[in-house]
Amino acid sequence: MLNNNDLALIADKGITEELIKTQLDNFNNGFPSLKIDSVATVGNGIVAIDDATASQYIKKWNAFKDNGGTIEKFVPASGAASRMFKNMFAFVTENKPQPETDFEKNFFNNITKFAFYPILNKACVEMYNLNITELIEASRYVDVARAMLDVKGLNYGALPKGLLKFHHAAAGTVHTPVEEHLEEGAQYAASNGVCNLHFTVSPEHRKEFKKILDAKVPNMEKVWGVTYNVTMSEQKASTDTIAVTNDNTPYRDANGNLLFRPAGHGALIENLNERDAQVIFVKNIDNVVPSRLRNTTLRYKKVIAGYLVDTQEKIAKYLQLLDEGNAPLKEILEFVENSLFTHNAATTSMDEVALAQYLRGKLNRPIRVCGMVRNEGEPGGGPYLAYNNDGSYSPQILEAAQIDENNPDAVALMKSGTHFNPVDLVCYIKDYKGNKFNLKDFVDYKTGLISEKSKDGVAIKALELPGLWNGSMSDWNTIFVEVPIETFNPVKTVNDLLRPQHQ
């Protein structure tokens, strides 16, 4: 099936023939839906923390930092902003003489409020010899949108979100998400005066990220009193997956070449696995707010980080007792069930040797504490208690596509969810002896997704690896903590930048 050109291509990518076969088997067989025990709610998999307890966890986090704990902030930042401008691309394509939809009217009626307005105005003058006001007065709305999207203008339709002007900042300046993450990192993730940040970027935009960092970091170091250690990595070519036609045979272009596609954010488990801190914060590039609105975010980042450190200390103590052979097995089992929300009916029939082995397996894993926000009418992916391969069930973040839509009970459970996942994670990736876990050992490879795409007008299917915070962290110890909705401020469309949280 694979010719010499194919073999050379996959060798160059670092992909094996065996992996290609596995991917084709996945297309043919699909992925199983996950069996769910229940939706995670407060008291059943989600922890609600009162103010007094939150303050204790903040103290715990500050002590970890003061004692030289190693910390890094990991920000997936390679995704293009094309979907953010989907509505405006449609506006240009349809060549409308004026705004018609509510979205279009909102964009143009409030265009001066966007942080990128000054540079868009400059782009319009350079492209058309008219400013935005003059173009709008001449009903040339489409030209304004083109100046924002086209490569001859701002090229915002192709750039990643991290490089866009998001917010107005002090002294008339504006900030990109990269700058907001730099500030955030200094405020909760710095230890011994050093703030480590890691951005995953696309190869074609790496130079632009570096340009922003080179320009902004020196001044931010003075403002925040830290030394930044900023690194970048790219999604590995070896994580690309083969594309197939509707009959599950490899797609080939007009020249007979195979097509490989990036495999979604799950591919970034490889990048995360190369980081070497004890504690790593994971947060999406677009979930940022200006400094004046950041206090709630900062507080709860410290809360969930303190909760993580506290949990890790308890786990380390229990593992040391298991090593010594005098562990209180009943107490540890209660901790696993009541604090880690991991249950297995088989434990009732285990002897002490088997129970000790089971508990060691459940404790000696990477840990993550995930902030969860109240669901405000968007049922779908979120926190659940789902079954694992060993028959136990534990907290898992699931996407809607992982749930069997033909199972009425599973659908009803999904719709009854009280919380959803804002991608607000803090992770502990070293074991109780200080050795780094191999994170790839904890991936559930049966939790990938198949999506429908098109290439040159041909319908194709693409394979996504288990999501970074879904199947890629399936076998971690996972704790859900309720956090305020104010900590979740994503920018899914350009008009989200008009919301008060981004003004």
Q: What are the pLDDT tens digits along the chain (503 aa)?
A: 788 888 899 999 999 999 999 999 999 999 988 889 999 999 999 999 999 999 999 999 999 999 999 999 999 998 888 889 999 999 999 999 999 999 999 999 999 999 999 999 999 999 999 999 999 999 999 999 999 999 999 999 999 999 999 999 988 899 999 999 999 999 999 999 999 999 999 999 999 999 999 999 999 999 999 999 999 999 999 999 999 999 999 999 888 999 999 998 999 999 999 999 999 999 999 999 999 899 999 999 999 999 999 999 999 999 999 999 989 999 999 999 999 999 999 999 999 999 999 999 999 999 999 999 998 765 456 899 999 999 999 999 988 778 877 888 878 887 788 898 999 999 999 999 999 999 999 999 999 999 888 888 889 999 999 999 999 999 999 999 999 999 999 999 999 999 999 99
Tell me the domains of the chain and their CATH numbers.
4-79+177-489 (3.90.550), 82-158 (no CATH)
Distance CA(459)–CA(450), nearest Å, equals 13
The residue behind tokens 């086209």 is 150
CA angle in degrees (0–180, nearest 5) for 462-261-150? 110
Do the beta carbons of residue 44 and residue 38 sit within 8 Å? yes
- pTM for this predicted structure: 0.93
Work out the burial of residue 411: count CB atoms within 10 Å of its CB; fewer than 13 is exposed, 13-18 middle, 19 or more buried.
Answer: middle
DSSP-derived 3-state class of residue 75: strand
DSSP-derived 3-state class of residue 461: strand
**Short-list 239, 151, 191, CA closest to 64:** 191
Distance CA(150)–CA(216), nearest Å, equals 26
Distance CA(294)–CA(18), nearest Å, equals 48
Contacts 24+ apart (CB under 8 A), 289-292: 289/167, 289/180, 289/489, 289/501, 289/502, 290/167, 290/168, 290/169, 290/175, 290/180, 290/502, 290/503, 291/169, 291/170, 291/183
Distance CA(125)–CA(275), nearest Å, equals 45
- Give the pLDDT confidence score for residue 81 in this predicted structure: 85
Give the start-end residues of each E strand in 27-89. Answer: 36-39, 41-42, 45-47, 71-76
Do the beta carbons of residue 82 and residue 154 sit within 8 Å? no
CA angle in degrees (0–180, nearest 5) for 101-163-123? 65
Q: Token pair for residue 155?
A: 């090229």
- Give the pLDDT confidence score for residue 403 in this predicted structure: 80
Strand partners, 284: none
**Short-list 36, 4, 75, 138, CA closest to 272:** 75
- Give the pLDDT confidence score for residue 254 in this predicted structure: 85
- Give the pLDDT confidence score for residue 347 in this predicted structure: 96
Q: What single letter denotes the amino acid at residue 370? A: C
Q: Which helix (H) or strand (E) is 213 found in, with range?
A: helix 206-224
Distance CA(2)–CA(20), nearest Å, equals 10
Do the beta carbons of residue 396 and residue 34 sit within 8 Å? yes
Sign for the CA dihedral angle at 64, 66, 70, 75 comes to positive
Strand partners, 451: 462
Residues 6+ apart with CB under 8 A from 252: 258, 259
